[in-house]
Structure 1
Amino acid sequence: MSQNIPLRNIDTGSGRSQIMDKIHTRSFKGSFRQLRILGGVILFTLYFGTAWLSWGDRQAVLWDLSDKQFHIFGSTFWPQDLVVLSPILIICAFGLFFLTVLAGRVWCGYTCPQSVWMWIFMWAEKVSEGDRNQRIKLDQAPMSSAKFLKRVQKHSLWLMISLVTAVTFVGYFTPIRELVPNLVTMDIGSMALFWVFFFTAATYINAGWLREKVCLHMCPYGRFQSSMLDRDSLVITYDAARGESRGARKRGADHRSEGLGDCIDCQMCVQVCPTGIDIRDGLQMECIGCAACIDACDSVMDRMGYDLGLIRYTSERELEGGGRRILRPRMIGYGVALLTMVAALSLTILSRPLVTLDIAKDRGLFRYNAEGQIENSYVLKVLNKSQQSQSYNVSVSGLDGLQLSSTATGSVGSGERVELPVSVSVAPESLKTEANTIRFHLQSVEDPALKLVENSKFTGAIQ
């Protein structure tokens, strides 16, 4: 069995002295930063763009709580279908497990909404208040008109981003093409207005003030990731054998003759870290795998003329001089489980009936009609989950001579539910017991292959 990688939770002394101290990150450039920006652009495009897509005459993705319909492009799900959608949460969990075993916390570093919005808010802070050293001086300076204006600019950007985020989120539950103009004219319902305000405040507090504290104290993922990592997992690691001993030196100097490693102890890796850790102290719970320290260190190594990769993505086995195994039992197990669940969910969704039939029997036991036959009453509830109107015919079977004594044909529009009262009668001598099982057959006129059969009870006195 693979050995888990231990995670450390220590005070580095070089970043922040206490966990609650404010972190001032430094701006930097690098390939991993570009990759993270690309991930953020994709996430933002999906989040903000999908809400405005149309599918026919409705919003493409809309969780319509008032009508209890959940539209996802060409499919419409009803509350009774939630049992089908609930496995999605399990699939996401196993997907995260698989990704962690393969490449550590890349989800947290590149595509987690908390991280993406945090980086956006940090960008807004840099635009309004300057880079790291300028922000530190600004925080230490007494309040002045210049400081006040910069604070106003920063918080205005934060609030604007929060408002757009909140309106888009609410737009997935209330048609966004109606929500936005109604919000501008303030002709909006109190409930929608409350949720817009709530999510604006939540985003503003979460990404603006809490930031890394969400990752460190509220998100449980960092605390149980050690149970998923093994010696072959790809994690961000400092090469201590190459970097130690640390120390300053002149560019071009023979640092090896002075007993120094490649690390010049510039603190750049600490200054760019959004959680304020020192990666040189080993893999820590607070590391979100964003690779900011790799970009910062590579830029320093490039200026010094040293090989890149003093801090890099690698595995514990590779760092010790061994080879990295990609396929291993734990990852294969997670992968097989993930593919199995995705296949099962896809098959369930594709094979789910687009028309459902529920039968409610009248509470009365039975009655005799004018022909002397025993008669029972029912209400047939037909739900059309498809995107087209459906016409249907209903028949009944289960007893000799059983017949419908009222019209059992009709139509139901897309996404509609209709109730059809029917009566079923039979001669008394055909009854076998006082409670007999009968079957209602519903067949679509447009699609004869669409057939439903539901059982019910027929009661009457035996003669």
Structure 2
Amino acid sequence: MSDKLSPEEEQPIRYRNLYEKPDKIYIRKISGFYQSIRRYTGIPLIVVFALLPWLTIDGRPAVLFDLPARQFHVLWLTFWPQDFMLLAWLLIISAFSLFAVTTSLGRVWCGFTCPQTVWTLIFFSVEHFFEGDRNKQVKLDNSPWNFNKIWRKTAKHAVWLAIAFATGATFIGYFLPVRELLSGMLPYWGESGILTFDIPPAAAFWTFFFTAATYLNAGYMREQVCKYMCPYARFQSVMYDNNTLAVYYDVARGEPRGARKPKDDPKEKGLGDCTDCSWCVQVCPVDIDIRDGLQYECINCGLCVDACNAVMDKMNYDRGLIRFTSEVELQTGKFRFFRPRVIGYVLAVVVMATAFIYTISSRTPLSVDVIRDRGARLYRINGDDVQNVYTVKINNMDNSAHSYTLTVSGDYPFRVVNYRKVEIMPGEVFTVPVRVAVERKSLDSEKARLVMTVTSLDDESLVATETTNFLGPVPRK
């Protein structure tokens, strides 16, 4: 079977009605500088994603989001629902980092590290392995069903499903220990003679849900996710300026485009350097022609750059007809990387990241909340004492149980009437009513500052304080 395509097969359809089914995109296999970068960025991310659930620290997975226990274990740290603000803080830092990268380097996140892009390229690689390069795939799809077509298609989809299942199981392994998850999937004969599984129904559902999502997104939807589902493509133009690096086609150098032989002089034929080979279109994973100008679908993956450079090498032309550059550089030959907006984003990220790291490193796994008892009066007089009643919540966010004592201080010689030391289990929020008293003759104001301090008896580093008000009668004149 010849690999050469007919003119109808060779030229992709560039325009279609919105209600029509999108044509399948056949990607030409290409190698080059940016494909090497993708290997150095994508493969480490895949390895980290796959190995983290298997690593253990202190007898638990290195990263485990234990939703039933309301504990998020990340390496040696444990986060609780009370640490939700840290998550919001981290999301803000990530957003500003994305803004900084996009303003300076365009959509390199989409092109090199986005999971949708990485997994789609993995599926493309499997497709190339079983069905061949672009021309062979077109011929195979247009050929009648026979043994060769059936086994190639079956093998491809079997590997796709295996990759999708591994992805789904690994993802759920961040929420349920992966060894427990996989062992629960192994069937065994129960006491009643029925084939039984030990996997929780919710874990089984979400494992197969993400398996199906990976299979459909990376195997079938592919560029449709980037074009129509991902919101990043829609608001990226807000972050672009004339100095933002992106993939551009050098119109002044390439036009007018036209076919020629390697030995032909393009100037004698009145042509630019573009040979109109359409390789830049055939390698594009989102099915656009970069020669039409900057488009929101472009994910800055650099495939068209590598393809065009390969053609320029064959024609003995200078590289860079399609390249990563900016609009200003194309027009003036000058490029300015450091700009006020980029500097502002970078400074904001550095300041927030530094504060976040300091907060995490100095974080104490103990907190205390003091609430005035709403069921009691503002204060009560008991003999010579004025008393206030509080509800104190002690949150032990450590991985070990601790015994805690409570002391009070403030504007006057306060004392605790009814508190005794308590042992609080890991992750437990212990609520206890506390009565604080002071001699009435010591008070000279209606409101005073009261500081409650909770201290661990077996670990002096675990200390938490909370400031509240102590209310009393109007002082006698």
Q: Is the 8 A contact 1:74 1:387 kept in 2?
A: no
User: Residues 143 and 340 from structure 1, CA distance in 2 versus in 1: closer, same or farther, beyond 3 angstroms?
Assistant: same
Structure 1 residue aligned with 2:93 = 91
Match of 2:201 among 190, 198, 203: 190
Q: Distance in 2 between matches of 1:93 and 1:178?
A: 34
**Aligned-partner Cα distance in 2 for 1:191–1:35:** 38
Distance 1:345 1:203 in 2: 33
**1:4: which partner in 2?**
none
Aligned CA distance change for structure 1 residues 177 and 416 (closer, same or farther; 3 Å):
farther
Task: Give secondary structure in 2 for the equivalent of 1:288.
Answer: coil
Shift of 1:337: 2.3
SS of 2:186's equivalent in the other structure is helix
Change (3 A) 1:346 1:208: same
**8 Å Cα contact 1:298-1:309 kept in structure 2:** yes
Q: Name the SS for the 1:395 alignment partner.
A: strand
More displaced stretch, 406-415 vs 451-460: 451-460
Work out the number of aligned pairs and report it: 451
Matches within 5 A, 1:369-448: 380-387=392-399, 389-397=401-409, 403-406=415-418, 408-420=420-432, 439-445=451-457, 446-447=459-460
Q: Please name the residue that 1:450 is paired with.
A: 463
Asked if structure 2 preserves the Cα contact closer than 8 Å seen for 1:358 and 1:381, the reply is yes
Unpaired runs of 5+ residues, structure 1, are 1-12
5, 10, 13: which one pairs with 1:16?
13
Match of 1:7 in 2: none
Q: Which one is further off, 443-452 or 309-318?
A: 443-452
How far 1:301 sits from its partner (Å)? 1.4
CA contact (8 A) 2:369 2:466 kept: no
Please list, as runs of the form range in 1=range in 2, the aligned pairs for 1:75-114 lying within 5 A after superposition.
75-114=77-116
Deviation at 1:334, TM superposition (A): 1.9
Select the residue among 299, 302, 312 that pairs with 1:291: 302
The offset of 1:255, in angstroms, is 2.7
Relative to structure 1, the CA distance from residue 257 to residue 349 in structure 2 (aligned partners, 3 Å threshold; closer, same or farther) is same
Selected match of 1:169 from 164, 168, 171? 171
* SS of residue in 2 equivalent to 1:347: helix
What is the TM-score normalised by the length of structure 2?
0.84
Q: Which has the higher contact order (CA 8 A, sep 6+)?
A: 1
Q: Deviations over 1:13-70 (max 9, x none)?
A: 9533346211000111111111112211021022112222222122221111101111
Moved more, 118-127 or 436-445: 436-445
SS of 2:318's equivalent?
Answer: coil
Asked if residue 203 in structure 1 is aligned to residue 230 in structure 2, the reply is no
Secondary structure of 1:356 counterpart: strand
Cα gap change, 1:433 to 1:200, in 2 (>3 Å): same
1:206 counterpart letter in structure 2: N
Distance 1:283 1:434, change over 3 A: closer
TM-score by length of 1: 0.87
Code of the aligned partner of 1:239: D
C-alpha RMSD of the superposition: 3.2
1:441 & 1:227 partners in 2: Cα distance? 49
Q: Which sits farther off after the overlay, 399-408 or 301-310?
A: 399-408
Q: What is residue 246 of structure 1 aligned with on the other side? A: 257
227-236 or 352-361: bigger deviation? 352-361
Contact 1:75 1:386 in 2 (8 A): no
In the TM superposition, 1:191-340 aligns within 5 A as 191-340=202-351
Per the alignment, in what secondary structure is the counterpart of residue 393 of structure 1? strand
Give the percent of matched residue pairs that are identical in Structure 1 and Structure 2: 44
Quick check: 1:444–1:451 contact (8 Å CA) kept in 2?
no
Unaligned runs of 5+ in 2: 1-9, 17-21, 188-196
Query: For residues 341-398 of structure 1, what are the alpha-carbon distances to aligned partners after superposition, in whole Å with 9 as ceiling and x for unaligned?
Result: 2233333434444211234666653899999988776654322223555443212356
Kindly state the Cα deviation for residue 442 of structure 1 after the two structures are TM-superposed: 1.3
Q: Is the 8 A contact 1:358 1:454 kept in 2?
A: no
CA–CA distance in 1 between the matches of 2:179 and 2:290? Answer: 47
Distance (whole Å) between structure 2 residues aligned to residue 165 and residue 264 of structure 1 = 41
For residues 182 and 458 of structure 1, the distance between their equivalents in structure 2, rounded to whole angstroms, comes to: 58
Once the two structures are overlaid, the 10-residue window that deviates more, 84-93 or 265-274, is 84-93
Amino acid at match of 1:230: D
TM-fit CA distance, 1:196: 0.7
Amino acid at match of 1:161: I
- The 3 A distance-change label for structure 1 pair 101 and 364 is closer
CA displacement at 1:413 relative to structure 2: 4.7
Equivalents in 2 of 1:225, 1:368: separation in Å?
62
Q: Distance in 1 between matches of 2:470 and 2:213?
A: 53
Corresponding residue for 1:157?
A: 159
> 1:128 is aligned with what amino acid?
F
